[in-house]
Structure 1
Amino acid sequence: MKKGTVKELLSSSCFKNWKSMLIEGETIDAEDLDLIMDMASLERKIMINVDSMPINFSHRKALHFLEMDYHEAHWIRVEDLMTIRNSFSVSLISNYFTCDHLNQLIRFWFKCDYCMFRHLTIHMTDSFLVTSIFKSLIYLSTSRLGLQQFFILSHRYELVEFPISVISWTGTNFKMSTVPIEGEYKQEAKILKILMRKKQLEEELESGSEFENTRLNYELQISKQQLENQGVLLKLLQPDFLLLTLYKDTVFFLIRHFNRSLIPLTPPLITRLWLLCCRAKTFNGT
């Protein structure tokens, strides 16, 4: 691409209000790329599919488009992802992201009081390490017909329009979507709210006075009762594992609390848990 070509096109009245742009080729000039990024807005979509990007390229508005598809994304840092706001979709192919970076991003999203994005796809070379990705987070893991999904409820769920993150790992792609609280995953959100409150009460119990602990224990029992009312049965599998069985949908929930390990949800384990669920139903007369 010759220097000035992009500048000439963008200066033309025909391209003044462009909505979508596709850039393909071996490389692109840094000056031309700066001009394009300067025009970023939530009314524009961009796809860049070049073999190599300018060395040390960086731009504060690179992730400020409505939709972004960057094939060569080694230049994007996790700090750049944290600048996304109200975008619809982001797709990054070649990059340097690790599971620890994903954890940083999710924890940032968890505290946000605004919508960052609706859909995020990051091609990964790392394995899907649950303990790294969800470190210091309370999350819900479900398995339906072999599809495993992970759910996190935003700390600011009362303010955010799409406060539930639905995370999955498809092939080598990390996928994170955000959805409204009133919808397909309404029940998962309800359970996560109770678990977040339960965790808060447990932390307060560690530092509360004897008088306060009486009240906190009472509220903690209410939280446990609420879980039972949701058709959730808490079973201690091992000291660090909690299994929640949702009778209504016969879905198994594995809850990981802060810095605890998650038991792998393998087909043999699902079969064993299903049998436990059936026995529990019979025992409770359901």
Structure 2
Amino acid sequence: MDKLPEKAELSIDSDLPLDYSHPKALKFPVTRYKDARWLKMEHLLSIRNVDLIKLESTNFDCGDVNQFLHYWSDCDKDMIEQINITLKEGTEIDEQEMIKDLIVISEKDSGSLVFMKARNMENRKLVVGELEFRENGVTFSASDPSEEDCLYEYSILELLHQKRDFEENIRKMEKEFRGLRDSEKKKLQLEMEELERKLKVLNRDYVV
């Protein structure tokens, strides 16, 4: 692996020992492991600027997927365009655990696909995430809303992030000042209603 050029595409069908590790394991533009049970979370979190990773057998579970998605959301660089993860054998797919504490939208007629937006937008282009639940794993893709057909989803998610930030600011203000004056509450309420109005007008297709 050390001798492979940086732009090489790596595909390994053989089994690897569970204690195997390599700093370049997920650094190639395209990587596929038939047996990736040796991979640890630290390997997933080290991914940067790659195109495609396929992991056909892993020891990751739903909680690991959630941790990866949160890290992707907060990361200061683009990580990946697409990753396919087959979860640990016997893992029951728990969609809610995978998206816990994330802001997502899902199609009204299909719960197998959700969209999310990165919280950290600096120095990144691939900021719209698409998570597809499969029978034994997930596929996660990241897109640039200025180039891909996901500007609509991005716009809805941006409003939802603004709404959550607004709610958190209100809670913080109420805690710090032990309550708000009626005039302040009225102003904040009107601003919140305006955000909700924009969401209602914009969102025609998704469950939020």
Q: TM-score, normalised by structure 1?
A: 0.64
In structure 2, stretches of 5+ residues that fail to align are: none
Distance 2:201 2:123 in 1: 27
For these two proteins, the number of residue pairs brought into alignment is 198
The alignment status of 1:114 with 2:67, answered yes or no, reads: no
Counterpart selection for 1:199 from 147, 150, 164: 164
Residue type of the alignment partner of 1:61: K
Give secondary structure in 2 for the equivalent of 1:94. coil
What SS does the aligned partner of 1:178 have?
strand
Q: What is the match of residue 94 of structure 1?
A: 57
Match of 1:60 in 2: 23
Which residue in the other structure is 2:207 paired with? 254
Q: What letter corresponds to residue 138 of structure 1 in structure 2?
A: I
Summarize the Cα distance change of 1:129–1:54 in structure 2 as closer, same or farther, 3 Å threshold. Answer: closer
Larger mean Cα displacement after TM superposition, 99-108 or 166-175 = 166-175
For residue 160 of structure 1, report the CA deviation from its aligned partner. 1.4
Relative to its length, the structure with more strand (as a share) is: 1
In the alignment, which residue of structure 1 is the partner of 2:189? Answer: 217
Structure 2 CA distance for aligned equivalents of residues 39 and 222 of structure 1: 57
* Larger relative contact order (CA 8 Å, sep ≥ 6): 2
Distance 1:127 1:40, change over 3 A: farther
1:57/1:168 CA distance change after superposition, 3 Å: same
Deviations 1:98-134 (A, max 9, x none): 0000000000000012111101001123232122101
- The residue identity in structure 2 corresponding to 1:69 is R
Whether contact under 8 Å (2:81, 2:142) holds in the other structure is yes
- Contact kept, 8 Å, 1:42 with 1:87, in 2: the verdict is no
Residues 54, 84 of structure 2: 8 Å contact kept = yes
The C-alpha deviation readout for 1:233-275, integer Å capped at 9, x for no partner, is xxxxxxxxxxxxx1xxxx3x222xxxxxxxxxxxxxxxxxxxx
* Aligned amino acid, residue 254 of structure 1: V
Q: Cα 1:76–1:176, aligned 2, differ >3 Å: closer, same or farther? A: same
Counterpart selection for 1:49 from 3, 10, 13: 13
C-alpha displacement at 1:55, in angstroms?
4.8
Distance in 1 (CA, whole Å) between partners of 2:126 and 2:142 is 5
Map 1:120-131 onto structure 2 (within 5 A).
Answer: 120-124=83-87, 125=89, 126-131=91-96
- Which consecutive aligned stretches of 4+ in structure 1 deviate over 6 angstroms post-superposition? none
User: 2:121 matched to which residue of 1?
Assistant: 157
Q: Does the 8 A contact of 2:93 with 2:137 survive in 1?
A: no
Query: How far apart, CA to CA, are the structure 1 residues paired with 2:128 and 2:4?
Result: 27
* Aligned-pair CA distance for 1:141: 1.0
User: Residue 236 of structure 1 aligns with which residue?
Assistant: none
Q: CA deviation at 1:45?
A: 0.8
Distance 1:80 1:224, change over 3 A: same
Question: What are the superposed Cα offsets for residues 55-87 of structure 1, whole Å, 9 maximum, x if unpaired?
Answer: 511112211111100011111011110101001
Shift of 1:200: 1.1
Which of 130, 144, 155 in structure 2 is aligned with 1:180?
144
1:84 to 47, 52, 71: 47
What CA distance in whole angstroms lies between the structure 1 residues aligned with 2:63 and 2:73?
Answer: 15
1:134 aligned onto 2:99: yes
1:267-278 to structure 2, matched below 5 A, reads none
Does the 8 Å contact 1:40/1:64 carry over to 2?
Answer: no
Give the aligned CA root-mean-square deviation in angstroms.
Answer: 1.9
Unaligned runs of 5+ in 1: 1-35, 233-245, 256-286
Give the aligned partner of residue 103 of structure 1.
Answer: 66
